Amino acid sequence: MSENTRKKRMLDTKMVPAPSHGIIPERDYYSTPVLEARHLGIEFGGLKAVDDFNLIIGKTEIAGLIGPNGAGKTTVFNLLTKVYQPTMGTIMVNGKDTAGMNTVQANKLGIARTFQNIRLFDNMTVEDNVRIGLHNQVKYGMFTGIFRLPAYWKQEKAQHEKALELLSIFDMQDLAGAQAGSLPYGAQRRLEIVRALATNPSLLLLDEPAAGMNPHETEELMRNIIKIRDQFQIAIMLIEHDMNLVMGICEGICVLNYGRIIAKGTADEIQANPTVIEAYLGKKKEG
């Protein structure tokens, strides 16, 4: 980071008051927000892909990020997971500043994600995919692994059980031995969620979890997202185009257009917001 951007970032956080939120659920008022993004932004060669993005997510909130195509939703996810380094603003995860961190460190801090275009480890089994998610919770080293010391057997067994337990959220424990790349599309999406969940996150980012699912599967997914939140007591943020899902489960919704937040609020507020309607449907013709 250059000295200039560092200064700019400090100025940004110090001088401007905290962004208004108002959409954090009441139960999360007294715990540290899992995510706090202030004046977050990134420029690609002068183009502001995301600009002045402010958001607070409560400890067990389900938040939605919506917006027309190309609004910068996935870019926000890439900023939060440090795939891109933000050129402006700060990201606090569980009260810790993530400045200068990389993707791996952001994950260790508690951010896990799924991908819009599925990125599974195709040549590995379903169970091994989940085990990769459990990677940082298993502590034995290469030497123990090669020489199969007692720690290896103990932790492998614990890992196996944990993987099956996680898979059972989506009723996928029977598929544990199947090759991940050979699963049907919907199952691949579910596996991605399980894999992300295995990293023991405090914030789970889901990039279009319902894409390509039929209404029946979507409904089941909604139930499962709530179940995951209740069971693991984590916050979930999702990008989705399926409005039934977003309006159905998200407690706070944030609408993005041209890289800027144009509206924040509950489902009812968003549906009634004229700016949002305009962004999606265009301006009403006068007369």
Partner 1 sequence: MKLKKSTVNNIIAYGIVIVAFIVCQLSLNAGTMSRSLKGQMIPICVYIVMAVSLNLVVGISGELSLGHAGFMSVGAYSGAIISAWLLEGLHIESAIVRLILSMLSGGVFAGLAGVLIGVPVLRLRGDYLAIVTLAFGEIIRSVMNCLYFSIDSGRLHVSFNNPSLPGKLLVNGPAGAKVVEKLATFPMGFALILFTLFVVLNMINSRSGRAIMATRDNRIAAEAMGINVTKYKMMAFVTAAVLAGMAGALYGLSFSTVDPAKFKFDTSILVLVFVVLGGIGNIWGSIIAATLLTVLPELLRAFSDYRMLVYAIVLILVMLATNNPIIRSLFDRLIRPRRTAANTQRGGASE
The residues, any chain, with a CB within 8 Å of residue 78's CB and separated by 6 or more, are 84
The token pair at 200 is: 């023991």
Residue type, 15: M
138 binds partner 1 (CB under 8 A): yes
Name the 3-class secondary structure at 242: coil
Helix pair 185-198, 215-232: axis angle to 10 deg: 10
Among 107, 65, 59, 60, smallest CA distance to 82 is for 107
Binding flag, residue 120, partner 1 (CB under 8 A): yes
| Region binding partner 1 by CB under 8 A among candidate stretches 60-68, 191-199, 211-219, 250-258 | 191-199
When asked if residue 133 is in the footprint of partner 1 (CB under 8 A), the reply is yes
Map the footprint of partner 1 across residues 147-176, applying CB under 8 A.
147-148, 152, 155-156, 175
Closest distance between partner 1 and the C-beta of residue 150, in Å? 14
Listed ranges 3-11, 67-75, 125-133, 268-276: which one lies at the site for partner 1 (CB under 8 A): 125-133
Query: In angstroms, what is the minimal distance from the CB of 155 to partner 1?
Result: 8
Query: Does the protein bind partner 1 through residue 35 (CB under 8 A)?
Result: no
182 or 214, CB closer to partner 1?
Answer: 182
Q: What angle do CA 177, 183, 185 make, to 5 degrees?
A: 150
- Size of interface with partner 1, in residues (CB under 8 A): 46
Task: Write down the least CB distance from residue 165 to partner 1, Å.
Answer: 18
47 binding partner 1? (CB under 8 A): no
Nearest approach in angstroms of CB 249 to partner 1 is: 23
Backbone torsions φ then ψ of 112, nearest 5 degrees: -125, 155
Tell me if 124 contacts partner 1 by CB under 8 A: yes
Does residue 136 bind partner 1 (CB under 8 A)?
Answer: yes
Separation between Cα atoms, residue 280 and residue 209, nearest integer Å: 21
Binding mask 198-237 for partner 1 (x = CB under 8 A): -x--------------------------------------
Contact flag: residue 38 with partner 1 (CB under 8 A) = no
Distance CA 20, CA 133 (A): 35
Half-sphere exposure of 61 (CA within 13 A, CB side): 32
- Beta strands per DSSP E along 240-283: 252-257, 260-265
Q: How far apart are the C-alpha atoms of 91 and 68, rounded to whole Å? A: 24
Q: Quick one: which segment of 2-10, 33-41, 118-126, 263-271 binds partner 1 (CB under 8 A)?
A: 118-126
Alpha-carbon gap, residue 96 to 259, rounded angstroms: 25
Structure tokens at 212: 């390509």
Report if residue 141 touches partner 1, rule: CB under 8 A.
yes
Give how far Cα 28 sits from Cα of 21, 65, 188, 233, 252, Å: 12, 19, 32, 11, 13
Q: Is 135 near partner 1 (CB under 8 A)?
A: yes
Binding-site ranges for partner 1 (CB under 8 A): 81, 83, 102-104, 107-108, 112-113, 115, 119-124, 128, 131-133, 135-136, 138, 140-142, 144-148, 152, 155-156, 175, 177-179, 181-184, 187, 195-196, 199
